[in-house]
Structure 1
């Protein structure tokens, strides 16, 4: 060792603190919430036994999912051939709580639609009762102007004031078809509406100021997973005694409210994908 050099003294390592007494775990456990109790349950074998006690999770089931406790007395047949029976009585309260917790958190958000507005076009035909065409147009869904204050809804407006098309008197018919236009796949289409607008409704469309609107709605076809409450709606904004078409609004409704764009696309993908 050279002169002037200090000798390095080894530092003593502190011993890890001893685990809490077994009795302390049982005193703390009743004050923990579900997340803390589940985390403590995974620490070690002794903690697993302390924080996995059935009475702790039974208390949480009573607080959050009291109806779930009825499953512990429910019996049902699982195999009709040999009449074997099983029950939920063997299910622990911890597993029962986890089952209902996953159910309540797993259904909050629906997956994003696989179909985009850029892949969809709308084709609309408006014709007189005799079949002669009054107005026809096709427009890309993402190019239509969403109606003011309706951002995020499956509700679109198409300006047709430059067409100089007039509805005129009498009954008329609306046919709306949604078409998949993606270049990556073959075209597909679904008929959204083919409905008549009664002459009486059209006759009373023009009100004070020489403007008004007439609309029609129809139940949408039901996809395999349901959705029978959805309706397609077409509203035609009119002007003057000749009932010149100024704008056509296209939307999908459920129980008198417009659905979101994602809801509408999720519906269309059943038929277009």
Structure 2
């Protein structure tokens, strides 16, 4: 009997058991590609039992990172972190297409008890340390404005990076913080950054980098002992080395989102 070619005929779906059998014979690159086909394929091709051996074999030094995350990192993401880190070390570096002078950092803090406060810093005003790390300190110069802001446990920060003339914008973080927010202590905010690539959003890829912000608290003299923000520090960390990435690495990452058509 000839096979019907009618468009009304439903397309057969592949049983998940068959996908599991198929997946066991695929290499990491093919597995990652296959996981982008559909949600069922993503679930089948991303399961821990497929990626555990690949991760522990290729990147044994990263095994401890899995248990540090809450919830624990899936093994396919752990493999992606190791693979991305290795490729960065092997690939000849090229100068980023954007510079700090092209960027403006805009940070907004708000909570339920104080009016929102915004810090705007053009990249041209940022000072680099001797290691040229993607880490910057912002002095809080507008004292009167900051005295009106009471940092509390529900304080939320948004950190946007804007390309010249608002040609592009990328949100580094939009989250609540953690810490005691008392004098002599620090308030911390962090957010995992997405992978830069065409498949990042659909497959939940990770970049292996974390955006970090620190509010340095101090007690204001002559204001009844109030605790206020003394300075703001921002940066981007590698979760593999837990060190700040270099400025060029940070700029190369940002250009994927700020100038997607040029890369």
TM-score (norm. length: structure 1): 0.52
Is contact 1:192-1:221 (8 Å) kept? no
Give the C-alpha shift of residue 145 in structure 1.
Answer: 3.0
Residue matched to 1:53 = none
Matched positions, count: 156
C-alpha distance in structure 1 between counterparts of 2:252 and 2:206, whole Å: 10
Give the C-alpha shift of residue 111 in structure 1.
Answer: 0.6
Matched, 1:258 2:244: yes
- SS of 1:133's equivalent in the other structure is coil
Matched, 1:187 2:172: no
Residue matched to 2:139 = 159
Give the C-alpha shift of residue 161 in structure 1.
Answer: 4.0
Matched, 1:248 2:232: yes
| 1:196-255 alpha-carbon deviations (Å, 9 max, x no partner) | 014xx234x43xxxx332111110122107652111001111111532112111100112
Is contact 2:109-2:117 (8 Å) kept? yes
Is contact 2:114-2:150 (8 Å) kept? no
C-alpha distance in structure 2 between counterparts of 1:170 and 1:253, whole Å: 24
C-alpha distance in structure 2 between counterparts of 1:175 and 1:271, whole Å: 17
Give the C-alpha shift of residue 264 in structure 1.
Answer: 0.1
Structure 1 residues 36-55: aligned runs within 5 Å: none
Match of 2:119 among 132, 137, 142: 137
Structure 1 residues 167-206: aligned runs within 5 Å: 167-181=150-164, 187-198=167-178, 201-203=179-181, 205-206=182-183
Q: Let me know the Cα RMSD of the aligned residues.
A: 2.5
Matched, 1:238 2:217: yes
| 1:151-188 alpha-carbon deviations (Å, 9 max, x no partner) | 4000011101433414344321010000001x5xx611
- SS of 2:124's equivalent in the other structure is helix
Seen in structure 2, the aligned counterparts of structure 1 residues 108 and 223 have a Cα distance that, compared at 3 Å, is closer
Residue matched to 2:193 = 220
Is contact 1:155-1:258 (8 Å) kept? yes
Larger Rg: 1
C-alpha distance in structure 2 between counterparts of 1:227 and 1:244, whole Å: 35
For structure 2, the 5+ residue unaligned runs are 1-88, 199-204, 220-224
C-alpha distance in structure 1 between counterparts of 2:206 and 2:143, whole Å: 36
- SS of 1:170's equivalent in the other structure is coil
Give the C-alpha shift of residue 117 in structure 1.
Answer: 0.6
Match of 1:272 among 245, 254, 258: 258
Is contact 1:134-1:167 (8 Å) kept? no
